[in-house]
Amino acid sequence: MSLSLFDLTGRTALITGSARGIGMSLAEGLGAAGARIIVNSRGDDAVQAGVEHLRGAGIDAIGAAFDVADEAAVRAAFERFDADGIKIDILVNNAGIQHRQPMLELALADWQRVLDTNLTAAFLVGREAARRMLQRGRGGKIINIGSLMSEAARATTAPYTVAKGGIKMLSKAMAAEWAAHGIQANAIGPGYIHTDMNEKLVADPAFDAWVKASNPARRWGQPQELVGAAIFLASAASDYINGQIIYVDGGMLSVL
């Protein structure tokens, strides 16, 4: 079988929150498969550093710093893409934050911030991207980054759990409305991956031991281990797959 099924040459991929962590690994992976990458996070300097890092690896990259949870900023970013003739074929809604606190102590503002960044932003960016994909009539790919917590809760992560559960259903809702137009919307649910977001947990011996004991793979995942699923869902190889979530978790959700 030809690997050209997975070739992303000529496609442009916007990956939100791609200045570091999982987003940067996905940028490296989709870029190596041929895509032009748009790096995003809230910070101009971080975005520029990400662009330079990718270019250093021979990947065609540009930057777009904006807050994915700010509707006006998202609209303005897409208007700039329009003005510059940039057409997005692949959107990865990856930007996310965590806030750990027991629900009885949780402030509404923190609940809202996590929901806005991890769930509403995927709707906002997805809506702008899909409007343009529909207008062009060439379809497109939307990959929403969920989590183990799209499926299961853990104490102290209520807003994150709710947002990631919502990401699973948002992917289905996108598929319901846009699949007929050649847009495939799906999700990836990473397990415990060693990134900045989890640095404190990796360093906590009790948590580290819990992750290793609960996971059939007996280890944390690395951000690069999400690349295969992302290339699959970004490429022609997944053209009849809609509304699915692929867990890349070492098997953690498969065991009790």
Size of the site for ligand NDP (CB under 6 A): 29
| Residue choice 13, 69, 175, 246 for contact with ligand NDP (CB under 6 A) | 69
Residue at token pair 């207008």:
135
Least separation in angstroms between CB 93 and ligand NDP: 8
* Terminal-residue alpha carbon distance, the chain: 37
Residue 199 CB coordination number (10 Å): 10
Least separation in angstroms between CB 148 and ligand NDP: 6
| Residue choice 193, 211, 227, 231 for contact with ligand NDP (CB under 6 A) | 193
The stretch among 63-71, 102-110, 135-143, 172-180 that binds ligand NDP (CB under 6 A) is: 63-71
DSSP secondary structure string for all residues of 184-224: EEEEEEE-SB-SGGGHHHHH-HHHHHHHHHHSTT-S-B-GG
When the beta carbons of 94 and 184 are compared against ligand NDP, the nearer one is 94
What is d(CA 189, CA 88) in angstroms, rounded to the nearest whole number?
A: 23
Helix H or strand E encompassing 175 = helix 158-178
Residue 192 annotated among the catalytic residues of the structure: no
When the beta carbons of 5 and 152 are compared against ligand NDP, the nearer one is 152
User: Is 63 a binder of ligand NDP (CB under 6 A)?
Assistant: no
Residue at token pair 């991929």:
13
SS3 of residue 12 by DSSP: strand
When the beta carbons of 23 and 31 are compared against ligand NDP, the nearer one is 23
SS3 of residue 55 by DSSP: helix
When the beta carbons of 179 and 197 are compared against ligand NDP, the nearer one is 197
User: Is 21 a binder of ligand NDP (CB under 6 A)?
Assistant: yes
Q: Which amino acid is at 241?
A: I
Distance of CA 19 to the CA centre of its chain: 12
User: Is 75 a binder of ligand NDP (CB under 6 A)?
Assistant: no
Q: Of the residues 160, 192, 240, 247, which is catalytic?
A: 160
Strands 90-93 and 140-145: parallel
Least separation in angstroms between CB 7 and ligand NDP: 25
| Residue choice 126, 192, 227, 246 for contact with ligand NDP (CB under 6 A) | 192
Residue at token pair 């940067």:
24
Q: Residues for the chain: how many in total?
A: 256
As given in the structure block, the two tokens for residue 120 are: 């509403």
Tell which positions 78-137 bind ligand NDP, by CB under 6 A: 94-97, 117
User: Is 250 a binder of ligand NDP (CB under 6 A)?
Assistant: no
Give catalytic residue positions: 160
Binding residues (CB under 6 A) for ligand NDP: these are 16-17, 19-23, 40-43, 46, 67-69, 94-97, 117, 145, 147, 190, 192-193, 195-198
